[in-house]
Amino acid sequence: MYIYIYTYHYTFWNDRIIETRLKTQRGHLTILGVYTPTEARDELTEEFYETLQKILDKVNKNDYIMLIGDMNARVGNNKVANIVGTNREATLDSNDRKLIDFCTFNNLKIMHTFFKHKEFHKFTWEARGHKSIIDYFVTNVKNSNVI
């Protein structure tokens, strides 16, 4: 299946969020590239999610929506129906709850948690003997049915 892209625009909101909107054969696709502040930077993280919410509120509700990037969160063993699946790592951190709450409020799914991965494909960050999943692909329910 090929998806043809007809027109696009992009908006650089700040150094943590960029948006592009594409017109495809199926409709419009809005992609938000994000880089969430690291754990223990609560004030910056709160500001980030407030800004992201304002941007997402402006997106056409009929669009297919994707949030892609480094969320600096670890969703741990928190299975949340239709938001977080069963294929995730065991560890969670303070950014975890913020991401899950944001997804719940906006009816978004953390997609990679719904698919099995080989252990060496599962993690997106590794250093000094530690590994974790901090890069995420999040989408609205409308889009999750297409993928």
140 within a domain of the structure (yes/no) = yes
12, part of any domain: no
In a domain, residue 10? The reply is: no
Residue at 67 is within a domain? yes
CA distance 26 to 125: 34
Q: Is residue 100 part of a domain?
A: yes
User: Do 84 and 74 touch, CB atoms closer than 8 A?
Assistant: no
Q: Please state, in angstroms and as integers, the Cα–Cα distance from residue 9 to each residue in 69, 101, 140, following that order.
A: 19, 29, 20
Q: Which is higher by pLDDT, 109 or 120?
A: 109
- pLDDT single digits (tens) 81-98: 777 766 556 555 566 788
Please check whether residue 117 lies inside any domain of the structure. yes
Specify if 6 maps to a domain. Answer: no
Go through the chain and tell me how many residues it has: 147
Q: How confident is the model at residue 78 (pLDDT cuts 50, 70, 90)?
A: low
pTM of the model: 0.78
Q: Provide the number of structural domains found in the chain.
A: 1
Domain hosting residue 98, numbered range: 36-144
pLDDT at 15 over 90: yes
Confidence at 34, pLDDT banded by 50, 70, 90:
very high
pLDDT at 100 over 60: yes
DSSP 128: T
CATH number at residue 44: 3.60.10.10
Q: 25 with 1: CB under 8 angstroms? A: no
4 within domain boundaries: no
